A = this chain, B = another copy of it.
Amino acid sequence: MRNLLIAGLLAGGIAGMVPLLNAGATQSAAVPVSKDTQDCLFCHEDLHPGIVSAWRESRHARITPGEAIQVKGLGLKVSSTEIPEQFLNVAVGCAECHTQRSEAHSGTFDHGGYDVHTAVSPKDCATCHAQEADQFSRNLMAHARGNLVNNPLYMDLARTIEGRVARAEQKLEFTPADPLTQAESCLHCHGTELEVVGSEERDTFHGGMEFPVVTGWPNQGVGRVNTDGSLGTCGACHNRHQFSIEMARQPYTCKKCHVGPDVPAYKVYSASRHGNMFSTHGKEWDFKKVPWTVGEDFTAPTCASCHVSLLADASGNEIAPRTHQMTDRLPWRIFGLIYAHPHPISPDTSIIRNADGLPLPTNLDGTFAGDFLINASTMAERAENMQKVCRSCHGSAWVNNFWERFENTIMTTNAATLEASRIMLDIWDKGYAVNHLAGGSPFDEAMERRWSDVWLFYANNIRFASSMAGGGDYGVFADGRYHIAQAIMELNDWFARQKAMDALGNTGQPASKPSLQKAK
């Protein structure tokens, strides 16, 4: 097989380092491409023109690590202090990423004489971007898969969402979803586990070639478990193979996972004043500059401005450092589980237990599982990190009053969730629905679902609208306050009617329903 490749290369040039000749029109200067990458390109440029052209547009194809590492100060993009010799003076091409650290990847296979792994991991990227990879490893997102699959309560909820449903007498039974379904529902964003389960021969234009069979592939989920055991993928936000910083800084990247009613960040942003400014004037902004200068490069924040990017003022002073541990600027976790709460201390949230022993950061009565959550002083520090960004464009009275409203909204939405939970507890208590304490699931009956609407959708919407000053429609009429009140009214209505039926001598429950312990 090597022979085939070599035969091909005779036509394509086999010198060790040659300039990148077929570069796209937008490429300013030729950067040497390693012989290994040339080998890759020889076939794959024809096979997958889209991948290769995207890479040719990328900064990876236009500057060598050796040049990039020279940049110091706020302009720095390559944070590793030492980069192996062989990478210094060539473009970061196919081979540089897909053949490095081959011994660390269980998915490595011989491909035309090269030891190739398909899925590049943050540890591979760390060769040049050590600091970012390190921060990301401590980021909640890197743990997105484990935080779901290692939490039995969340997986019980997942079962009632993505699982297969069938009736057993009058009761609905949900079977956990098959792996293919999981991979394109919850784990699409949370990340699959890439597991090599065998190999197969596939027909190629070189004849039969052997490839590994990898379950969980493809996946670009932010908490993917890689074939080297590392967590996450940089490609979740830095889309392969262009890896453009413009893309990571525009809100569409975050939208991929944060558009639904559970985390409606994009929707709220796009209807906010900031979003309006981005939509109208964003095309005139410079999304590539490092550092990213407030007022000069952009005049309103995108997601990245507030949560990730290194920001500077026009004099070159740092306003906020770059962070890939995105909780650095977040005191509150406004995603309700089931109430909003101070952020967890550890990015691995599966270790959390609340007062009832449940793997939840809050108790059903709205209090916090405090031992596992950051304390007031860390919260204050993180709030200050964020407010510094706000003050780039807003006076301190503005910022302080805004923040006061935001924290008030955390409290009022938690209070509304508590009222919904009290009705739900009464429903369980009366035996009108069967929860986990009574041998069932708290998520698989109609009113349980209406209850989860409250804290999984509506309360979150209101908080996201509050947090991004997009308070109008998304805080009120679009899955907001109107709907949280409506859900509570419906819970109360259902409960009242069930009690009325009860008084008439029938609970409306299937005859097979087991007798209940008290739910709480």
The interface of chain A, by Cβ under 8 A from chain B, is 24, 45-54, 57, 118, 160-167, 170, 172, 174, 177-178, 180-181, 183-186, 188-189, 202, 211, 213-214, 217-218, 220, 239, 242, 244, 246-247, 250, 252-253, 255-262, 266, 270-273, 275-277, 279-281, 283, 293-296, 299-300, 313-315, 391-398, 401-402, 404-405, 408-409, 412, 415-416, 419, 422-423, 444-449, 456-457, 465-466, 469-478, 480-482, 485-486, 488-490, 492-493, 495-501, 503-510
Contact = CB atoms under 8 A, between A and B. Distances in A.
A412 B181 contact: yes
15 contacts: A24-B296, A50-B392, A50-B393, A53-B294, A53-B295, A53-B299, A161-B482, A162-B481, A188-B472, A259-B478, A260-B472, A260-B477, A447-B493, A497-B498, A504-B506
A105 to B, nearest CB: 15
Nearest to A315: B46
A246 B52 contact: no
B49 A449 contact: no
A476 B299 contact: no
Contact of A396 (B202, B397, B466): B202
A215 B478 CA distance: 26
Nearest to A250: B280
A271 to B, nearest CB: 5
A295 B239 contact: no
A508 B444 CA distance: 25
Contacts of A242: 277, 281, 299
B504 A392 contact: no
Contact of A478 (B214, B261, B481, B488): B261
Given A161-B482, A242-B281, A481-B162, A167 B408 contact: no
Nearest to A203: B396
A211 B260 contact: no
A487 to B, nearest CB: 9
A163 to B, nearest CB: 8
List the number of copies, as a whole number.
3
A247 B496 contact: no
A266 B202 CA distance: 35
Contacts of A466: 184
B165 A419 contact: yes
Contacts of A250: 279-280
Contacts of A507: 500
Contacts of A213: 397
Counting from the closest, the 6 A-B pairs by CB-CB distance are A53-B295, A50-B393, A260-B473, A260-B477, A500-B508, A446-B493
A475 B184 contact: yes
Q: Point out which of A398, A472, A504 has the most chain B C-beta atoms below 10 A from its C-beta.
A: A472
A141 to B, nearest CB: 13
Contacts of A45: 314
A31 B290 CA distance: 31
B167 A492 contact: yes
Nearest to A300: B50
A415 B497 contact: no
A165 B247 CA distance: 42
A316 to B, nearest CB: 11
A294 B475 contact: no
B445 A57 contact: no
Contacts of A255: 270-271, 276
Contacts of A299: 50, 53-54, 57, 242
Given A49-B313, A276-B247, A492-B170, A415 B475 contact: no
A135 B442 CA distance: 53
A469 to B, nearest CB: 8
A353 B210 CA distance: 47
A96 to B, nearest CB: 18
B401 A446 contact: no
Contact of A415 (B164, B277, B293, B397): B164
Nearest to A254: B276
B239 A277 contact: yes
A472 B247 contact: no
Contact of A48 (B391, B477, B482): B391
Contacts of A448: 489
Contacts of A402: 218
A419 B471 contact: no
Contact of A185 (B47, B481, B503): B481
A51 B392 CA distance: 8
A43 to B, nearest CB: 11
A419 B392 CA distance: 53
B271 A253 contact: no
B185 A49 contact: no
A144 to B, nearest CB: 11
Contacts of A177: 412
Nearest to A508: B500
Nearest to A177: B412
